[in-house]
Amino acid sequence: MGSSSVAKRQLVLFAAALVLAVASARRRPVHLRLYMHDITGGPGQTAVPLVNGTGPLNPSMPAGSRFGDTTAIDDLLTEGPGVESKPVGRAQGTYTLASLREPVLVVTMTVALTAGPYNGSTLVVAGRDSVLDETRELAVVGGTGQLRRASGHVLWRTAKLESAVHWVLELQVHASVPADRHSHKAAIIQ
């Protein structure tokens, strides 16, 4: 390979790096802390079995849990960990028992915000929830409204158990959206 060929290759690599740097500089950060109330039974139930899996029993989950069990959710999102805390939206979607032996769910949900600076906007979250890990990471794969073309991740942890059927999950959203011409500040809800 000649020196002009090496120089051209280096120029192309430099140009690609510059384009990526400029593109990332045109994004603004979005940080949200939300609490999701997943209630699987009793009054106020927000999570219902949708599909009874036909796979083998999963030994790491509650008795009767089978590979493929799928649950639909319409969980309340609040500003703080208490169910009486200010409502800020709903988490709507499904989770599926996706491991034969481990307590692993695959989550696909839309976070629909109904309060705060992103009222009326949504985030799409998907990923693997290894239930026994203290903190799990799921992907932000899109959004609508003020969160259109969002990308990033959600740090997800079990904040507390209100009861055997009411789990409270803390969702810390770390994402970015394309910056518009009018706003260059990060909006933060904490």
Average pLDDT, the chain: 89
pLDDT bracket for residue 17 (50, 70, 90): low
Provide the 8-state DSSP code for 44.
Answer: T
Residue from 28, 78, 29, 33 nearest 172 by CA:
33
Nearest to 175 by CA among 141, 150, 143, 156: 150
Confidence band of 15 (pLDDT split at 50, 70, 90): low
Residue ranges and CATH numbers for the domains of the chain are 29-189 (2.40.480.10)
pLDDT at residue 138 greater than cutoff 60:
yes
Using only the alpha carbons of the chain, give its radius of gyration.
21
User: Which pTM was predicted?
Assistant: 0.81
pLDDT, residue 180, reads 75
Residues 6+ apart with CB under 8 A from 28: 176, 177, 178, 179, 183, 184, 185, 186
Provide the 10 A C-beta neighbour count for residue 20: 10
What average pLDDT score do residues 154-181 get?
A: 94
How many whole angstroms separate alpha carbon 134 and alpha carbon 54? 29
Three-class secondary structure of residue 8 per DSSP: helix
Q: For residue 169, how many other CB atoms are within 10 A of its CB?
A: 21
> What letter would DSSP give residue 57?
B
Average pLDDT estimate for 175-184: 73
Task: Tell me the per-residue pLDDT of 71-83, one tens digit each, with 9 for 90 and over.
Answer: 999 999 999 999 9
CA 8/CA 57 separation, integer angstroms:
59
Task: Please write the tens of the pLDDT for every residue from 44-66.
Answer: 999 999 999 999 999 999 889 99
